[in-house]
Homo-oligomer: A and B are copies of this chain.
Amino acid sequence: MSNHFADRLTAAISAKGSPTCVGIDPRYDLLPADISEQAGLNDPHDPESVVDAIAEYSRRIIRIVAPLVPAVKINAAFFEQYYWDGVEAYYELVQEARSRGLIVIGDAKRADIGHSAEMYARAHLRKPEMDGIDEMMIPDAITVNPYFGFDGVRPFIEAARRDDKGVIVLVQTSNESCTELQGLELASGGTLVEHVGRLVNQWAGDAGLLGVCGYSAVGAVASPRDAASMARLRAMMPNCIFLVPGFGAQGRGAEDVAACFKADGTGAIVTASRSVIYAYEDTKYLEMYASEWEKCVEHACKDFVKAVADVAQP
């Protein structure tokens, strides 16, 4: 089997039967009581206690979702807020998820130029050359920001090419004010998002980056704003797998994401974070399982997997 990122992701999607990704965004204030109240884990100002608690919660989420979904996306910000202890927990969690066979997307949204971008590629994508840093601690792919143009993305792409990793470039994000930049109409026609989409597809199309599956190691974050504009973007970016945020808590329904897929049902992987990992706050699941939060998460994850599988039918 090809070790290329897009081939591994495609194989994992086939194995699980649904192009889904669970976003790990652990918040201390939303942890289930049995975790936050564990002895020694109840001081919200002690970084070690707090990091231990969110790490334990995240490990349990990973164990629940690993048999159900092909991939997880681990949000670096939620760990970085706890300084270096949090960063260590982030890498350990990547290792935990990869060890359980999950494809891991490091949602770090890094970008810089020249040497600085190279350093970020070392931190988040390249095979480690440091003693004590296990290869499994490094994600399979990382999200990056395109504002610098190709200079800001090249070091990540080079790391991806060499080490069979993936680079997922922000194109269309899911927030309201994204239109302030991304929605701008260009003098040459089309919107900034479409221009960025074409650029990313061009970067992705380098022959050395294409997997057997036909997709590139360079993908794109693409959140549907409406079906028509997403269909245009989908048609413009045949080389790229889309990472589609916003399913569930961010308000996109199953029908909104259908346009992210090609007609054959490939080309996208849909993420859900809050609607799965905090399912125990949703009365629908809460009433079924009372305080058994892990059952709520499992049920919500299965519902998510099924909903996306239905949408992604060719």
Q: Which A residues lie at the B interface, using CB under 8 A?
A: 25, 27, 43, 45-47, 50, 75, 77-78, 80-88, 91, 107, 109-117, 119-120, 122-123, 128-133, 137, 145-152, 170, 173-182, 184-188, 192, 195-196, 199
Residues of B within 8 A of A199 (CB): 180-181
Query: Can you name 22 A-B residue pairings with CB atoms under 8 Å?
Result: A77-B115, A77-B116, A77-B123, A80-B119, A80-B123, A81-B120, A82-B123, A84-B91, A86-B123, A87-B87, A107-B116, A146-B147, A147-B181, A150-B177, A151-B175, A181-B192, A184-B186, A184-B188, A184-B195, A186-B186, A186-B187, A187-B187
Residues of B within 8 A of A178 (CB): 148-149, 151
Pairwise interchain contact B182-A185, C-beta atoms closer than 8 A? no
- 16 more CB-based (< 8 A) A-B contacts, given A148-B175, A184-B188: A46-B131, A50-B130, A77-B112, A81-B120, A83-B133, A84-B88, A86-B123, A107-B116, A111-B111, A113-B173, A147-B170, A148-B177, A149-B180, A149-B181, A181-B195, A192-B192
Residues of B within 8 A of A114 (CB): 175
Closest 10 CB pairs of A and B: A149-B180, A149-B177, A77-B119, A84-B88, A185-B187, A113-B175, A151-B175, A81-B122, A81-B119, A77-B116
Residues of B within 8 A of A85 (CB): 84
Which of A88, A112, A184, A192 has the most chain B CB atoms inside 10 A of its CB?
Answer: A112
Residues of B within 8 A of A132 (CB): 47
Pairwise interchain contact A83-B77, C-beta atoms closer than 8 A? no
A176 and chain B: residue at smallest CB distance:
B151
Pairwise interchain contact B133-A77, C-beta atoms closer than 8 A? no
Pairwise interchain contact B81-A25, C-beta atoms closer than 8 A? no
Which of A77, A146, A175 has the most chain B CB atoms inside 10 A of its CB?
Answer: A77
Residues of B within 8 A of A137 (CB): 83
Pairwise interchain contact B109-A112, C-beta atoms closer than 8 A? yes
Which of A27, A85, A133, A175 has the most chain B CB atoms inside 10 A of its CB?
Answer: A175
A123's partner among B83, B120, B145, B187 (CB-CB below 8 A) is: B83
What's the least CB distance linking A74 to chain B, in Å?
Answer: 12
Complex Cα gap A173–B77 (Å): 24
What's the least CB distance linking A265 to chain B, in Å?
Answer: 29
What's the least CB distance linking A232 to chain B, in Å?
Answer: 17
A47's partner among B82, B111, B133, B170 (CB-CB below 8 A) is: B133
Residues of B within 8 A of A192 (CB): 181, 184, 192
Residues of B within 8 A of A75 (CB): 116, 119
Complex Cα gap A196–B47 (Å): 37
Complex Cα gap A11–B166 (Å): 46
A27 and chain B: residue at smallest CB distance:
B115
What's the least CB distance linking A271 to chain B, in Å?
Answer: 13
Complex Cα gap A156–B192 (Å): 24
Pairwise interchain contact A47-B113, C-beta atoms closer than 8 A? no
Residues of B within 8 A of A107 (CB): 116
Complex Cα gap A130–B84 (Å): 12
